[in-house]
Every structure is written in C-alpha cells, then in structure tokens.
Amino acid sequence: MRSALGGGDTALPALLSVAGAVEMGALPRFAVGAGQAAAIPTGGYLPAGADAVVMIEEVTAAGERSIEVHRPVTAGESVLGRGEDVAAGAVVLAAGAVVRPHDVGLAAALGVREVTAYRSPRVALLSTGDEIVPIDASPRPGQIRDSNAHGLRALLRSFGAEPLPLGIVRDERGALERALREALARADVVVLSGGSSVGQRDLAVDVVASPPGAEVLAHGVAITPGKPTLLARCNGKAIVGLPGHPVSALVVAHVFLVPFVRHLAGMPMRKGPLGPRVTATLATSLASEHGREEYVRVRLDRSVDPPLAVPVLGRSAMLSTLARADGLLAVPIHAEGLARGSAVAVTLLRPVE
C-alpha cells in the first residue's frame, strides 16, 4: 500500500481501493497508486508504487474492492528492502568464528553451498589400569568403573571435539604401546586417563617417551587437583596423561585439554578453564598451598546479588563434588588462600559460546 494515508485510525479509518493481489513467489503485474492497496502474503514481493505493509488485523473489508485501514502506517513499515539483511560486500562469516546453526541458514539464504572450516579435532581416549572395569560391570573389591572416559567424552563433545573412545588398557607395557600407536594413528590428540603417577606399576611415562620422535614436555604440573599430569608430543601430535582420580582428570581437562582442543579447531589459544565467567563473593575463607594454582569447586547461591561462591569440598576421587558444583574458582599460585568476602571470578562448568 501507499503509506500516505491522510488518516487511518479507529475513529476515522482510511478508505483504500484494492488494486490486486500479490502471488507468493511471483512478481506483481500491477502497480499501486495513490489511494490504493494490494493484498500481499508475508514474504511476497512488494508491487511498484507501494512502500509499506499494514497487518491484516488492522484492516476490514469495505465492499468487494475496498478496505478500511484503522491506523496510520509510515513508509517502510513491515518491508524488508533489497540488501537490507546483508549488504553487498558485507562480511557474513568472519575467519575464526564458530559456525552456528543460524550461520548455516544465512549462508544457505545467500546461496553459499560450502565454506572453508576447521574440522573437529579427533581426541583418542585411553583408560589405563588393571583396576578399571566397564561401567556396566559389577566392580569387585579394588576395582572401579571407567567413569573418566565417559565424563571426558561428554566434555570434549560439548566443546566441539570428536572423542574417539578406545577402551581400557591393562598395566602391561606391550598392550599400552600397541594402544598408543593405534591412538596416534587415528587421532590428533591422545588422552590417557590414569597411570601417570610415580609408582611401580605406572608405565605411561616410559611408554609415551619410547616412540621415535616422542618428547615428554612435563611430568607434574603446579596445580591442585591434578599434579601428576603428563604433557608430551609425538611427531606433531599431543599426548595428555590425566590423573586417574575422576575430579582431577576432569579439572585438568578443563584447564589444559579443552583450551588446546579449541585451538586446534581454529580458536585463539586461551588460558583455561574456558566457559562463561561470573563475579561472585566468596562465602567462606579458603586456605591454599603456596606454589600451586588450586581449582576449587563451588556452587553459586543466587539468592543475593552478586551471588555467593560456596566451596564444595571433598577429595579428588569424589566425583559427586564436581557434579554438585556450578563452576571452578582459581586460587592464584602464589596465594596462601582467599579471605571470606573476596570478589572472585567463577568459571561456569558449561561450554563457551
């Protein structure tokens, strides 16, 4: 319709004659002049001479070829102009951006069939130890279910990686060597869960260091939990040895593994843990060992603003403490603790946007 109505409200509606009806998917073969309107479906092509659209709820019929419009309409209302959504020369998908579902839809709307993108990094998961049994087994005394592989698998998938579970490997050198060779051949990153502590049966360090081109970068890191972490590389591929304790394994994965995997997917390298961060007030004082960066599980009490960060305490084998937590709070490496009432940054335990 032409927007110059010269009125148009409930008390004094504008009377317009109907010049025709627009068919969906076709160019109109008529024009709209002064004092005229046309019926048009949502998404239809605006006829020549028309410059605005009024919703059908604001219109009533006034005979066979006339309508009454019950409110004023300005030029451009409910009209999407050519190039208004995406202008010529505009950047649609910037380099380094994560391709989201609506980005795919926009590219399709512009006729783009393919884009160049990083593929999802493949991460092989090996659980090591004679005490580890599948999760559907009934553990005997001294045995534990393989919770780490499943927790790591879910974590990696949530951050855009492609986990490749390769099962449980016993504490036998030949078996571990064969499993490591297969993992290096199939994946970009190899993660070993368990077997990295200093102990008589812990073979991971020796096995990881044995292939040609292998180099152990660190055996032990200054964080809590997760001190016995192993970091290595072999012919351009990363090997990460995680502690066997479930909380330690997942915390180390948040701190080291996830940022590296995101980097392989084209993201800038960032210090972990990654995820949305909120500012909170520490609910109670925390003691910490000087010389280690400590990651404390906390839950957030959102009944106050800013929320209270309440520590969820427990040993590194108690996976329930992490399940009850909303996020991780980092105590700096050179601090001996944090005082109650301190403003702290809490990294939420959910994927980054």
- The percent of residues in the chain predicted with pLDDT above 70, rounded, is 93
In a domain, 327, yes or no: yes
Q: Does the pLDDT of residue 337 top 60, yes or no? A: yes
> For residues 190 and 73, which has the higher predicted lDDT (pLDDT)?
190
351: confidence class by pLDDT, cuts 50, 70, 90:
low
Domain co-membership, 176 together with 242: yes
- Whole-angstrom distance, CA of residue 76 vs CA of residue 340: 57
Residue 353: predicted pLDDT:
45
Mean pLDDT of the chain: 90
Domain co-membership, 74 together with 132: no
Q: Does the pLDDT of residue 47 top 70, yes or no? A: yes
pLDDT digits over 292-309, tens only? Answer: 999 999 999 999 999 999
In a domain, 96, yes or no: no
CA 300 to chain centre: 21
In a domain, 116, yes or no: no
97-126: average pLDDT: 92
Cis link prior to 47 (omega < 30° from 0)?
Answer: no
Domain co-membership, 146 together with 186: yes
Tell which residue, 161, 168, 129, has the closest CA to residue 264: 161
Domain co-membership, 152 together with 174: yes
In a domain, 90, yes or no: no
In a domain, 287, yes or no: yes
Q: If phi over 0 gives left and psi between -120 and 50 gives alpha, with beta otherwise, what is residue 297? A: beta
- Please check whether residue 253 is in contact with residue 238, taking contact to mean a CB–CB distance below 8 angstroms: no
In a domain, 197, yes or no: yes
Q: The domain spanning residue 291 has which CATH number?
A: 2.40.340.10
* Beta-sheet strands, E only, within the chain: 14-21, 36-39, 59-61, 66-69, 122-128, 132-133, 144-145, 162-169, 189-193, 214-219, 223-224, 230-234, 237-242, 277-282, 286-287, 293-301, 308-311, 327-331, 337-338, 343-348
Domain co-membership, 259 together with 281: no
User: 181 lies in which domain range?
Assistant: 122-264
pLDDT digits over 166-220, tens only? Answer: 999 998 999 999 999 999 999 999 999 986 555 545 688 899 999 999 999 999 9
Domain count, the chain: 3
Residue 6: predicted pLDDT:
46
Q: Does the pLDDT of residue 230 top 90, yes or no? A: yes
CA 350 to chain centre: 8
H-helix segments, the chain: 101-109, 147-158, 173-186, 204-209, 246-252, 258-264, 319-323
Domain co-membership, 301 together with 326: yes
Of 7-11, 172-176, 234-238, 335-339, minimum mean pLDDT range = 7-11
